[in-house]
Amino acid sequence: MKILFPSIFYLPHVVGGIEYYVHNLAKGLLLLGHDVKIVVPEYEDGPKGDYEFDGVQVIRYKSFTSVGKLQMSGLQSNQSLDHFKELLQKEKPDIVHFSQLTNSSGISLEHIAAPKAFGAKVVYTNHMAEFICQRGDLMYLGKTKCDGTVTVKKCTLCTMNKRGISMIASLLAVAVDSALSKITGEKKFLQQVKPFTFPGFASRWHVHKIESVIDTADIFVSIADWSTKLLKQNGWYKKNCTTVQTGLLNQNIDLNIDTLKYDGKRPLKIIYVGRIFPVKGVDVLINAVNAIESNAIELNIYGPAGAINEREYYNYCKDLSKESTNILFHQEAGNSQIVKLMSQNDLLCIPSRGNEMSPLVIQEAKAAGIPVIGADLPAVEEWVKHGQNGLVFCTGDSGSLSKQLLAVINNPSLLELFKQNISLPVNFKSTTDSYEKLYKSF
């Protein structure tokens, strides 16, 4: 089979969980004898030309980073669509497997529908919590856990809150929106006059995107059970929907790694691995560690200094820890190093404010044999069972995180209990095999 994987960005220019996931899947399918290529937009101000990365061919089509409001909303065709169709005509794939959706960067609803006109099947794997929750964190008004039910009123209030709009103004806007939608028709929001005057337009468009992707895809894949649950809860789960568990991306790891023994007589060693960006909550972790005696805990942070738009937060985190000799910043860890680095620590911390779909670092921590302490988000709680194989704390609350860390410091035997309950990660080959089976079902 000939399989194309459109990706908004790709390795080595952009490094992230989705990029590594797609890359490992592509390599696995190549080993199984399939013809596989990665497809990425070619932006005006980005890298140019086709290339090969780690044995995988990457091809480009012309796209544009600067787009207008109508295109961002999906009311105007994406400028790159014709170039994408030309690529499909040339490549003639059997399957086009998408992993992302964004109107601004060359993968719109129209791109996802386009392969069908060329006789190809469409697969969509959802990697983003934002696909269901516009905020991305499933925290209603940023304060309480959301039940995951999507409604125009509730979601509009929540997104307006995130933009800093007062509750009184938000409630008034939602009331006006409700009245206007009754006049124009709730289900005809795309035909509304001046749709951007409707506060609930973004929430209606969000639901429209979810339903359109699922209806268009021949197979829609969730990589987390919590996501599948919410699809069913909102009435979006259909016969073409399924779940494929994410395996450990680095398949050449010795799973019999010796871990550290913690007896409370040395500092508890915490590791953070990932981007240093506000949604990752690194400041929450630093503040939590700063609240504990420095001789009782050590924090090792592995992450890039960041692009220009991330450098301000990186420097902010550095400033928070400038007087803390027990908080150490290291260079970004390579994919092949992460598990070994984790095994040299006692706990992996995931302090995220945003709910990732299925954090890959959890699988790596399982391979390293160390427990996870993470924010009480669905993506974390799916794998981390509080008091059994790790700990959770209140999202965004450094005091709650400090309390959980102190629980381990004051009772070191907890770590050994957690380690006994850590299951081995699934090998990514099983993930690849699952996809091949899905492809062959057409």
Does any domain span residue 105? yes
Instruction: Select the more confidently predicted residue: 157 or 142.
Output: 157
How many separate domains does the chain show?
3
Does any domain span residue 70? yes
Same-domain status, 282 and 401: yes
Domain that holds residue 347: 268-420
- Residue 356: which pLDDT band, with cuts at 50, 70 and 90? confident
Residue 253 has pLDDT above 90, yes or no: no
Query: Which of 122-131, 212-221, 273-282, 307-316 bottoms out in mean pLDDT, i.e. has the lowest?
Result: 307-316
| CA-based nearest residue to 271, from 407, 371, 201 | 371
pLDDT recorded at residue 88: 98
Are 109 and 212 spatial neighbours (Cβ–Cβ below 8 Å)?
yes
At 257, give phi and psi (nearest 5°).
Answer: -75, 135
CB atoms within 10 A of CB 221: 22
pLDDT recorded at residue 252: 64
Residue 71 has pLDDT above 70, yes or no: no
Same-domain status, 335 and 378: yes
Does any domain span residue 258? no
Residue 27 has pLDDT above 90, yes or no: yes
Find the mean pLDDT for residues 360-379: 94
pLDDT recorded at residue 105: 66
Find the mean pLDDT for residues 39-45: 89
Same-domain status, 61 and 40: yes
Query: Which stretch, 63-67, 76-80, 254-258, 284-288, has highest mean pLDDT?
Result: 284-288
Same-domain status, 192 and 273: no
Does any domain span residue 254? no
* Distance from the Cα of residue 11 to its chain's centroid: 16
Q: Which residues pair with 122 in a beta bridge?
A: 96
Residue 116 has pLDDT above 90, yes or no: yes
- Determine the Cα–Cα distance for residues 203 and 338; give it in Å rounded to an integer: 38
Are 359 and 375 spatial neighbours (Cβ–Cβ below 8 Å)?
no
Does any domain span residue 27? yes
pTM reported for the whole predicted model? 0.90
pLDDT recorded at residue 305: 81
Q: What is the 3-state secondary structure (H, E, C) of the chain?
A: CEEEEECCCCCCCCCCHHHHHHHHHHHHHHHCCCEEEEEEEECCCCCCCCEEECCEEEEEEECCCCCCHHHHHCCCCCCCHHHHHHHHHHHCCCEEEECCCEHHHCECHHHHHHHHHHCCEEEEEECCHHHCCCCCCCEECCCEECCCCCCHHHHHHHHHHHCCCCHHHHHHHHHHHHHHHHHHCHHHHHHCCCHHHCCCHHHHHHHHHHHHHHHHCCEEEECCHHHHHHHHHCCCCCCCEEECCCCECCCCCCCCCCCCCCCCCCCEEEEEECCCCHHHCHHHHHHHHHCCCHHHEEEEEECCCCCHHHHHHHHHHHHHCCCCCCEEEECCCCCCCHHHHHHCCCEEEECCCCCCCCCHHHHHHHHHCCCEEEECCHHHHCCCCECCCEEEECCCCHHHHHHHHHHHHHCCHHHHHHHHCCCCCCEHHHHHHHHHHHHHCC
Same-domain status, 193 and 308: no
Same-domain status, 32 and 75: yes
Residue 127 has pLDDT above 90, yes or no: yes
Same-domain status, 176 and 221: no
Token pair in block for residue 263 = 């007896």
Same-domain status, 396 and 337: yes
Does any domain span residue 210? no
Share of the chain above pLDDT 70, in %: 91
Same-domain status, 350 and 392: yes
CB atoms within 10 A of CB 400: 17
Site of tokens 């990589």? 223
Average confidence score pLDDT of the chain: 90
Query: Which of 44-53, 102-111, 195-204, 406-415 bottoms out in mean pLDDT, i.e. has the lowest?
Result: 195-204
57: domain CATH number? 3.40.50.2000
pLDDT recorded at residue 73: 62
Does any domain span residue 116? yes
Same-domain status, 117 and 174: no
Find the mean pLDDT for residues 329-335: 86
Residue 77 has pLDDT above 80, yes or no: no
Does any domain span residue 405? yes
Residue 194 has pLDDT above 70, yes or no: no
Same-domain status, 434 and 413: no
Same-domain status, 114 and 74: yes
pLDDT recorded at residue 220: 98
Share of the chain above pLDDT 90, in %: 70
